[in-house]
Amino acid sequence: MQTELAELMARDRDALVKHWQEIFGQPPPLKCGTELVRQVLGWHMQVTRQGGLGKRDLARMKQAAKGRHSSRSVPTPGSQLVRLWQGRTHQVHVLDNGYRYDGRHWKSLSAIARAITGTPWSGPVFFGLKPTNTAKK
């Protein structure tokens, strides 16, 4: 790979543009400088040789590019959720098999939100893991 990178560094702009077209099926953007073209081609070479992102990471990137957050509203075990409600701070510890709040084991965030507020809340919404849907269609 070192030899290929050295060859890439030695190419002039015309050769880089031709190589870009071969890989991506179109020329680089008009205002894309030669050095950036080189970097992208080097990145592509590295991804091809060493592998790219996993399926999960690619899906998350695609969602982010579309302006969406992950549909997964369950945080990873070991995380802590904190919410201030009516002057009191509530801490929830995320476990492999549920949650720990107020010295007890809970199966759902919604049950914890209901215990805190006394009303039926969506746990992921209450703890800020999922946006509320306030927009009218």
Please state the rounded mean pLDDT for residues 26-31. Answer: 88
Burial of residue 127 (CB within 10 Å: 0-12, 13-18, 19+) is: buried
Q: Is 73's pLDDT higher than 80?
A: no
Nearest to 115 by CA among 88, 80, 75: 88
Q: Length of the chain, please?
A: 137
Domain residue ranges of the chain, discontinuous segments joined by +: 2-52, 80-126
Burial of residue 89 (CB within 10 Å: 0-12, 13-18, 19+) is: exposed
Q: Is 8's pLDDT higher than 80?
A: yes
Please state the rounded mean pLDDT for residues 57-76. Answer: 66
What is the pLDDT confidence band of residue 135, given thresholds at 50, 70 and 90? Answer: very low
Please state the rounded mean pLDDT for residues 5-23. Answer: 92
| Mean per-residue pLDDT over the chain, rounded | 84
Q: Is 137's pLDDT higher than 50?
A: no
